């Protein structure tokens, strides 16, 4: 990962509602966190005065807050941090809608991360009961995206 990619990540986080994001690529790991103070550990040339890099050793990841899911539903969760898209292009229909029946392996959505489009597939067969995020919304790792009734 080079400096320009890191600057792009900072710009993405700054323009979103994310408070914290963790990006891992191989052995490289960067954690970007919004700070309530205007302090920064970046140099003055970067575009993110409200973000700071946190060394991996000093960070303990909080467990994601999990809401109570009805026992008859399965949540499909985001495997990565990125931007949620319901279709492959703005002109295309959504991959799924509420009350659609899906099979295991069907594409539910796309999550864009670092300009890579990642298709998120259904882990179970069933009916889409809820879509928990809006098109174009930034999503975090392990954030619930869909609820499926098997």
Handedness of CA 90, 96, 98, 99 (dihedral sign): positive
CATH code where residue 88 lies = 2.40.50.100
**Structure pTM?**
0.55
Number of independent structural domains in the chain: 2
Give the domain range for residue 15. Answer: 3-58
Structure confidence by residue, pLDDT tens digits, 74-114: 999 999 999 999 999 889 999 999 999 999 999 999 999 88
In a domain, 95, yes or no: yes
Q: Using an 8 Å Cβ cutoff, are 120 and 113 in contact?
A: no
Q: Which of 67, 146, 145 is nearest to 101 (CA)?
A: 146
Burial degree of 145 (CB within 10 A; 0-12, 13-18, 19+): buried
């Amino acid at each position: 990962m080079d400096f320009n990619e890191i600057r792009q990540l900072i710009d993405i986080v700054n323009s979103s509602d994310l408070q914290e994001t963790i990006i891992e690529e191989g052995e490289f790991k960067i954690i970007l966190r919004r700070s309530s103070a205007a302090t920064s550990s970046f140099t003055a040339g970067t575009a993110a005065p409200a973000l700071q890099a946190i060394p991996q050793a000093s960070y303990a990841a909080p467990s994601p807050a999990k809401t109570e899911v009805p026992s008859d539903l399965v949540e499909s969760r985001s495997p990565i941090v990125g931007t949620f898209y319901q279709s492959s292009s703005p002109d295309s229909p959504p991959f799924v809608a509420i009350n659609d029946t899906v099979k295991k392996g069907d594409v539910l959505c796309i999550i864009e991360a670092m300009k890579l489009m990642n298709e998120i597939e259904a882990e179970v067969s069933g009916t889409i009961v809820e879509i928990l995020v809006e098109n174009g919304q930034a999503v975090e790792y392990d954030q619930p995206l869909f609820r499926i009734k098997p």
